[in-house]
A and B are shown apart, each in its own frame.
Chain A
Amino acid sequence: MNGALAIAPILIPLIVAAIQVSLGIRFRRLRTSLSFLSCLALVAVAAMLMMSASSGEGTTLVYNLGDWPARFAIVLVVDRLSALMLLLTAVLALAVMPYALGRWQRMGPHFQPLVQLLLVGYNGAFLTGDLFNLFVFFEVLLAASYGLALHGSGARRVGAGLHYIAINLTASMLFLIGVGLIFGVTGTLNMAVLAHLIPGLTGTPRALMHAGAALLGLTFLIKAAVWPVGFWLPRTYSAAIPPVAALFAAMTKLGIYVILRLSLLLFGVDAGAASAHFGSDWLLWLGIITLAVGSIGMLGARELGKLAAYCVLVSSGTLLGAVALHSPGVTAGALAYLVISVLGIAAFFLLVGLVVPREVPEGTAQLEPYDPAVDALFAAEDERRVTSPSPVVILAVCFLACGLLLAGLPPLSGFLAKFALLAPMLGHGTGATLLFALTIAAGLCTMIAMARAGIQIFWADSDREFPRVEPGETVSVVSLLGICLVLTLVVAAPWNYLSATARQIHAPEHYIQAVMGQATGTRP
């Protein structure tokens, strides 16, 4: 397999975005078709990369930009984990694309190029093999996300966007300080070379390395919206338009991805007694607290968008806690949970946009407080004729499916993912047991909150005016849920891939060898 394919996921959306920006705002149809082509190409490339990465247990594809040796050059690394994340993002973008075709992309001039740039940022961050480029791609991702979060304008979005940008600019500064510390100690930012050097560090350099890594970790915890640095998320996500919020669903998972990658690569078992599992206790407890905060937030949410945003917090907390356990079995389950929760939450954000009446200008769906007096009113109406126009039936079924997926109940794949996550978790200490219990409790909270919202939307208020649903919007929601359904029926191949992924990232010597081999070895 040619290593140059590894750079395609960055180049394709970058070139498409450049063309779209230079086309201006006139050729809307051409710009939209270009976006579709780009997403299709990304799915194809990601699938090819995935196939080449999964051809053997330790296959890692390394591409040196400009063909410089890896110690000096910028490297792109494709292993099973990055290929998985690439495919997930590409599929998510392709599925969300039809949704934005109608009214949503018309709310501002540059929706399509911004989405492409967002994909550049995602793909670059998944592929890059050194810390500074991780920073650069994070900034590309964030710059595009600022534009998308503000898409549609309005006081609510600008207010939320202001906080979002300020917090992320501060986080970027922390990132740079961390990168600076690590470079000052080791003289390199290449992840594989770092992993090679860390066991040899002692005394002050080791302490500085830990400080740098902690600052980097803090940055990614901010991105993953972990308590206590995640309060920006519910406001920003619920203010953004639904397709944007759906695309952002993968952003918190990018934070989790980087934490997973770096903690296993830099602070795995091989890092020496003083550095092995550095910070993993903190990550576990922060994950547990985030999970609890997310569950409480979900029960207290008065707004459908906020409910979806707290689902993101719950999944972040669960994943962070699971990642911190450093066990291949739990990691494989966590990856399954990651895939399902990204797809499920994205579908939920899209659905939220469909049940909000169009008349509400700022796009908020309110949930009313429970009032027992209202129940008596409905008792008399139980005999009334029920009319169910078909789009509403589709929406209701999709809502039910979302609820089952997010709460992790059978028969959909949410249950399988949660089972795969929970089954190997016991026997890793008190923290893991607490995480286990809280994950199950969070499922219950999700079910209560979703049932309450569903009853209010679809049953309680029979005169509710649903906005006209455009075909593209239904296609998006149904295809996202359809993927989850397929993952319920076809389990063996994805699960084998995920277990192999977990084994691969828990044995970082393959990764280090693949990159370092390029560093010292022959140039073709």
Chain B
Amino acid sequence: MEAVLAIAIGALAGSGVWLLLRPRTFQVIIGLTLISYAVNLFIFSIGGLRVGADPVLGAATDPSRYSDPLPQALVLTAIVIGFATTALFLVVLLTSRGLAGNDHVDGEDGTP
């Protein structure tokens, strides 16, 4: 399972970086979104991967039988913040499209 997750994170991050370096604003925002998926998955996995383990301590007090709840709390915060900033970036992207008349990241297309 670790290998699958690692490949997924790598693929998301790789495509994200490639898109981030593209000249169109839409590609940039999709790239940022993919990278943030990759990062969120990464944070989610840092507590170790378990199947079917309870997240919250119950009557039994052996902590090794439980998954670490903290990465889940961290990733929730990161998702919320990433979502909000991406939405804000989308607004700026649209404004830039409106003001510059094209969707190049520098506001000027090579072609007139």
| A interface, CB within 8 angstroms of B | 132, 135-136, 139, 142-143, 146, 150, 153-155, 158-159, 161-163, 165-166, 169-170, 172-173, 176-177, 179-181, 183-184, 187
B residues with CB within 8 A of A: 20, 25, 28, 32, 35-36, 39, 42-43, 46-47, 68, 70-71, 74, 77-78, 81-82, 84-86, 88-89, 92-93, 95-96, 99-100, 105-107
Residues of A within 8 A of B99 (CB): 154-155, 158-159
Q: Evaluate contact between A173 and B81: CB separation under 8 angstroms.
A: no
CB neighbours of A176 from chain B (8 A): 39, 42-43, 78
Assess A170 versus B20: contact at CB under 8 Å? Given A143-B85, A143-B88, A162-B92.
yes
- How far, in angstroms, from A136 to B77 measured CA to CA in the complex? 8
A155: which B residues are within 8 A, CB to CB? 99-100, 107
Q: Is the CB of B28 within 8 A of A166?
A: yes
A159 to chain B: closest residue by CB: B107
A142 to chain B: which residues have CB within 8 Å? 85
What's the minimum C-beta distance from A178 to chain B, rounded to whole angstroms? Answer: 10
In the bound complex, CA of A422 to CA of B105 (Å):
42
A159-B100, A166-B28 given as contacts; is B105 within 8 A of A132 (CB)? no
CB–CB B32/A170 < 8 A: yes
Question: Chain A's nearest CB lies how many Å from the CB of B86?
Answer: 7
User: Roughly how many angstroms separate A139 CA and B36 CA in the complex, as a whole number?
Assistant: 14
Contacts of A139 in B (CB 8 A): 81, 85
User: Which residues on B sit within 8 Å (CB–CB) of A177?
Assistant: 39, 42
Residues from chain A with Cβ under 8 Å of B68 in the complex: 187
Given contacts A146-B92, A150-B95, A179-B43, 14 further A-B contacts (CB under 8 A): A132-B74, A139-B85, A143-B84, A154-B99, A158-B96, A162-B92, A162-B93, A162-B105, A163-B105, A169-B36, A172-B85, A176-B78, A177-B42, A180-B74
Instruction: Determine which of A135, A143, A150, A183 lies in contact with B92 in the assembled complex, contact meaning CB atoms within 8 Å.
Output: A150
- Contact count A vs B, C-beta below 8 Å: 88
CA distance A139 to B86 in the complex (A): 12
Interface pairs (18), CB distance under 8 Å: A139-B81, A142-B85, A143-B85, A143-B88, A146-B92, A153-B95, A158-B107, A162-B25, A162-B93, A166-B28, A166-B89, A169-B82, A169-B85, A170-B35, A177-B42, A180-B39, A180-B42, A180-B74
A173 interface neighbour in B36, B84, B92, Cβ under 8 Å: B36
CB-defined contacts of B43 to chain A, threshold 8 Å: 176, 179-180, 183
Pairwise interchain contact A162-B36, C-beta atoms closer than 8 A: no
| Distance of A465 Cα from B30 Cα, bound (Å) | 47
Closest CB of chain B to A14's CB: distance in Å?
A: 16
Which chain A residues lie closer than 8 Å to B81 at the CB level? 136, 139, 172
Q: Once the chains are docked, how many angstroms separate the CA of A163 from the CA of B89?
A: 10
In the complex, the answer to whether B92 meets A165 with C-beta atoms within 8 Å is: yes
- Cα–Cα, bound, A173→B35 (Å): 7
Q: Which 9 A-B pairs have the closest CB atoms?
A: A184-B46, A155-B99, A180-B43, A159-B107, A139-B81, A176-B39, A180-B46, A158-B96, A173-B39
| A172–B32 alpha-carbon span in the complex (Å) | 11
CB distance from B61 to the nearest CB of A (A): 16
Neighbouring B residues of A165 by C-beta, 8 Å: 85, 88-89, 92
- B35–A162 CB distance below 8 A: no
Residues of A within 8 A of B85 (CB): 139, 142-143, 146, 165, 169, 172
Q: Given A163-B105, A176-B43, A183-B74, does the pair A158, B92 have CB atoms closer than 8 Å?
A: yes
- Report A-chain residues with C-beta under 8 Å of the C-beta of B95: 150, 153, 158
Determine which residue in A142, A146, A153, A158 has the highest number of CB atoms from chain B within 10 A of its CB, and name it: A158
Q: Which B residues lie within 8 Å of A158 (CB)?
A: 92, 95-96, 99-100, 107
A242 to B20, CA, bound (A): 30
Q: Which residues of A contact B106 (CB under 8 A)?
A: 159
By a CB distance below 8 angstroms, the chain B residues around A180 are 39, 42-43, 46, 71, 74
Minimum CB–CB distance for A27 against chain B, Å: 26
Are A169 and B32 touching (Cβ within 8 A)? yes
B91 to chain A, nearest CB (A): 9
Q: Are A159 and B96 in contact (CB under 8 A)?
A: yes
Q: Point out the residue from A132, A162, A170 that lies within 8 Å of B77, measured CB to CB.
A: A132
Complex-state Cα separation, A159 to B92, whole angstroms: 9
Q: In whole Å, how far is A493's beta carbon from the nearest beta carbon of chain B? A: 41
A166 vs B100: C-alpha distance when bound (angstroms):
17
CB distance from A159 to the nearest CB of B (A): 5
> A276 to B100, alpha carbons, bound, how many Å?
50
Measured between beta carbons, the chain B residues less than 8 angstroms from A172 are: 81-82, 85
Question: Complex formed: what's the CA distance from A241 to B25 in Å?
Answer: 24
Shortest CB–CB separation between residue B33 and chain A, in angstroms?
10
User: Which residue of chain A has the shortest Cβ distance to B78 in the bound complex?
Assistant: A176
Output the least CB separation between B34 and chain A (Å): 10
CB distance from A362 to the nearest CB of B (A): 12
B5 to chain A, nearest CB (A): 13
Contacts of A183 in B (CB 8 A): 43, 46, 70-71, 74
The interface residues of chain A lying within 8 Å CB-to-CB of B71 are: 180, 183
Q: In the complex, A165 Cα to B25 Cα: how many Å?
A: 12
Q: In the assembled complex, how far is the CB of residue B62 from the closest CB belonging to chain A, in whole angstroms?
A: 17
